[in-house]
Amino acid sequence: MHGSLLSGRFQDFFKVRKIVFLSVFSRIADEKHHKFIQRAIVRIAKMMSILYYFIARKAFGKAIRSMEGISAMQTQAVPAGLSTMEFPTVPLFGLDICAVRFDEAADALFAYASAGARPARVIVTPNVDHLVRLQDASTEFTEPYRGADYIFADGMPVVWASRLLGRPLPERVTGADLFLALAQKASQAGMPVTVIGGMPGQEEMLREAFARVYPGMPLELFCPSMQFDPLGAEGIEARDRVNRQRPGIVFICLGMPKQERWAFAWQQQLDASLVLCVGAAMDFALGFKRRAPRWMQKAGLEWFWRLASEPHRLWRRYIMRGSRFVGLLARELRKNSKGKAGR
């Protein structure tokens, strides 16, 4: 039985892993970072040991959960009677992350936007990369990030960590999935949407793509330069475009930290309901980039898929910064142990 389990989907996983390693190491070798190769191999070995543990957890979840004392019934759903924009939260890695299922989050967010509610609410979706980068960021950035109106866990490792720490999240709520779900709802309802992202010169192509994929959705599109300054002239222009359209939803697709800096800087001046910081979500929603197969997403391997697709651009994010998440998790586990010992 175990052999047949590995023979199917996990064989695909090992093929993807091989492609990733070959792509990444050829890139490093081309740049002649010989000492770096040794450090990268050590980091990858650490990551793979943890990854294999979680694969085993996925395959033999009942046995492992019973050993750890973690019950699948611990996940929290939004209690009946809460208002549409109140979610229970759990403290993880210094953030209050919403403990809510995806459908409940998407429905509540769209209801808020449909009502034309104000003030603007900022939504961030931290993944492993974001959590690591927050450790190095200044308090000028981390404080507003921690104070975002709604924080959803984008990555499966964050969800797994929540369960290991005894503060379980029901499931992940990704920026890419929120973009897709909310854009579809906006298309059906004729709700105005503003999108900030894309490359200069792509405006016409992007408008055509939005009209094809999300017909009936009034769109304001702004493609800033690569030198976009959230507080500079382009940041002000983005704010003004939002306020002219008065949309229900604003999607900012500029990547961390530019998108969050812009959202936090102008939140109080925006005539909009929702401001979602969603990175590359537009490319996935319009079909420009292909997301990982659903089984890989559920197994927590979407990062592997993305790394295999764009190794030259993403190897540092997923190998170097991603491996630091192990240290963050260890620190959280130590905090947990000290907290229990002090009771």
Span 296-303, average pLDDT: 76
Exposed / middle / buried, residue 294 (Cβ in 10 Å: 0-12, 13-18, 19+)? exposed
pLDDT digits (tens, 9 = 90+) for 42-70: 455 445 545 544 544 543 344 334 333 33
Kindly state the tokens that stand for 341. Answer: 């010992």
pLDDT tens sequence across 257-289? 999 999 999 999 999 999 999 999 999 899 988
Q: To 10 degrees, the CA torsion angle through 269, 275, 281, 282?
A: -60
Residue 87, pLDDT score: 95
AA identity, residue 142: T
pLDDT tens, residue by residue, 204-232: 999 999 999 999 999 999 999 999 999 99
- Annotated domain spans of the chain: 2-72+294-341, 74-285
Range scoring the smallest mean pLDDT among 100-104, 182-186, 231-235, 291-295:
291-295
Integer angstrom CA distances of residue 309 from 23, 126, 314 = 10, 21, 9
pLDDT at 50 (0 to 100): 52
Its pTM stands at 0.75
| Rounded distance between C-alpha atoms, residue 211 and residue 112, angstroms | 24
pLDDT in tens, 74-115: 333 333 333 447 899 999 999 999 999 999 999 999 999 999
Neighbours of 165 (CB within 10 A): 18
pLDDT tens digits for range 227-258: 999 999 999 999 999 999 999 999 999 999 99
More confident residue, 338 or 40: 338
Q: Residue 60 corresponds to which tokens in the numbers above?
A: 């033999």
**CA 73/CA 64 separation, integer angstroms:** 15
* Cβ–Cβ under 8 Å, residues 254 and 263: no
Upstream peptide bond of 215 is cis (omega within 30 degrees of 0): no
